[in-house]
Amino acid sequence: MTGIEHYLSIFTKAVFIENIVLAYFLGLCSFLAISKKIDASVGIGLAVIVVLTITAPINWFLWKFLLDKGALVWISSDFQDTDLGFLKLIVFISVIAAMVQLVEMFMERFSQSLYNSLGIFLPLIAVNCSILGGSLFMVEREYTISETVVYGFGSGVGFFLAIVALASIRYRIRYSNIPPRLRGVGMAMLLTGLLSMAFMAFSGIDL
Amino acid sequence: MELFNSESKKIVSDPINVNNPISLQVLGICSALAVTIRLDQAIIMTLAVVFVLCSSNVILSLIRNYIPARVRIVIMLSVIASLVSVVDELLKAYLYDMSKQLSVFVGLIITNCIIMGRAEAFALKHGPSKAFLDGLGNSMGYGLIIIVVSFFRELFGAGTITLPDGGAGYVLWSIPESWYAAGYENIGLLVLSPGAFIILGLVIWIQREFAGVEEDA
């Protein structure tokens, strides 16, 4: 199961077939709140790609060498049965919060223009479920390190595509005559349902 | 104690109707959709959220005067993450089948914005008893919506109504064979993800009609 096709298949799956927003409902809070504006959507989409691609592999290393059952054997064989798996939620969320902070500092130092466009979205991402969800799925599906990188990047691209698509549709219908109580979130949910239906068409593709 | 006066009643009942966390504050949608395939999953998820939100609100409200404002996010996250880990382990120990079905979504209660949102907006500014009531009201408002959504998704999507029990769920009622023989068919789309979005969109619309709230654009 190696070779470029395997990774391509994980990537396509993460972007289209198992889109993290439209099939697994992750990251919906920011997805609905920010998709009112297209440029802001592009910003948070890019920020999610960056943070997911970085945090998923880091959490993979922590899982394999610290938390998983028997992961501590590299220290001494006494730890053969030690299982720190119950700490994974706390560890993952701390890593994510710390990484978001680091990425923000790096951006501010090295790319002022990128910082100005993405800066305000980064703190929001720490509590975006898609980031933690990416790490948890990576554990559940037992990916290897290279698969994790591809999966993290693919999920980020999936989020980017979905949020930009929804923002464009919402921009397009802004003068439509929608029943007043359905305006805003209600309509956004229905649109997301239609988008999700469109993405389901990819599920027939077998790679 | 002012536990049962009209103000406390308002703290509990507001989030259930006119300030519902899902349909009006738009918080915590992520988990709301994923666990609504079956009624029993939604009920267990509601109980988990009631526990986490009430305890996190009380704990954070008790220590609110000792938390420096600059590091409050980290403190909130660690309190919430510990509580969620407790729930996760409890589910694994006593309701193993259910914890397998809910998979990562129990863990994702941490990033459920309702919990962070209520901690930030309410628990850090009020005393423990009010914070408890606020937690109770908001988690029940959340539960109300996901239970309604899952009821319709399961009934029309899979043709059953399942209540939680120790194992794989107790089927309370299912659509009789004679209906299928007469040509009735389940709407398979409702079990898939688009169905969840559409049902939740409609529920939000109806809920807003009741609450009488509008949003521009």
- The DSSP result for chain B, as a single string, is --TTSHHHHHHHHGGGTTT-TTTTS---HHHHHHT-SSHHHHHHHHHHHHHHHHHHHHHHHHTGGGS-GGGHHHHHHHHHHHHHHHHHHHHHHH-HHHHHHHTHHHHTTTT-HHHHHHIIIIITTS-HHHHHHHHHHHHHHHHHHHHHHHHHHHHHHTSEEEE--SSS-EEEEE--HHHHHTT----GGGTSHHHHHHHHHHHHHHHHHHHT-----
**What local confidence, expressed as pLDDT, does residue A149 receive?**
92
**What local confidence, expressed as pLDDT, does residue A120 receive?**
65
Instruction: List, for chain A, all residue ranges whose pLDDT scores fall below the cut of 50.
Output: none
CA distance B96 to chain A (A): 15
Q: Is A32's CB within 8 Å of B26's CB?
A: yes
Give CA–CA dist A93/A114, Å, rounded: 25
Residue A39, H or E segment: helix A38-62
A121 touches chain B (CB under 8 A): no
**What local confidence, expressed as pLDDT, does residue B105 receive?**
80
Q: Is A89's CB within 8 Å of B81's CB?
A: yes
**What local confidence, expressed as pLDDT, does residue A153 receive?**
93
Give CA–CA dist A149/A192, Å, rounded: 27
Instruction: Tell me what the pLDDT averaged over chain B comes to.
Output: 82
Of B180 and B82, the structure prediction assigns the larger pLDDT to B82
pLDDT digits (tens, 9 = 90+) for B134-172: 899 989 888 988 898 888 888 888 888 888 776 667 777
Q: What is the residue-wise DSSP string for A51-119?
A: HHHHHHHHHHHHIIIIISTTGGGGT-GGGGG---GGGHHHHHHHHHHHHHHHHHHHHHHH-HHHHHHHG
Give CA–CA dist A193/B77, Å, rounded: 31
Q: Is B209's CB within 8 Å of A127's CB?
A: no
A11 touches chain B (CB under 8 A): no
For residue A86, give the nearest of B85, B208, B209 by CB distance: B85
List B171's β-bridge partners, or say none: B162
**What local confidence, expressed as pLDDT, does residue A118 receive?**
67
Output the six-digit token pair for B188: 């398979």
Q: Is A190's CB within 8 Å of B202's CB?
A: yes
As for the ipTM of the complex, it is: 0.79
Give CA–CA dist A102/A88, Å, rounded: 21
Residues of A in contact with B111 (CB under 8 A): 93, 127-129, 131-133
> Which class for A31: exposed (0-12), middle (13-18), buried (19 or more C-beta within 10 A)?
buried
Task: Kindly state the average pLDDT of the residues B168-185.
Answer: 79
Residues of A in contact with B217 (CB under 8 A): 36, 174, 183-184
Q: Is A28's CB within 8 Å of B110's CB?
A: no
Output the six-digit token pair for B96: 């193993």
CA distance B178 to chain A (A): 31
Which one, of B95, B141, B88, lies nearest residue B114 by Cα? B141
Q: In this predicted structure, which of A153-157, B81-85, B181-185 has the lowest mean pLDDT?
A: B181-185
Residues of B in contact with A136 (CB under 8 A): 104, 107-108
**Whole-model pTM?**
0.83
The answer on pLDDT for B1 being more than 50 is: no
Which one, of B147, B146, B199, B190, lies nearest residue B28 by Cα? B146
pLDDT digits (tens, 9 = 90+) for A180-207: 888 888 888 899 989 888 888 887 766 6
The answer on pLDDT for B217 being more than 50 is: no
Residue B76 burial (CB count, 10 A) = 21
pLDDT digits (tens, 9 = 90+) for B24-82: 777 777 777 778 888 888 888 899 999 999 999 999 999 988 888 777 777 888 888 89
Q: How far is CA B152 from CA A82, B39, B191, in A?
A: 44, 9, 10
CA distance A1 to chain B (A): 26
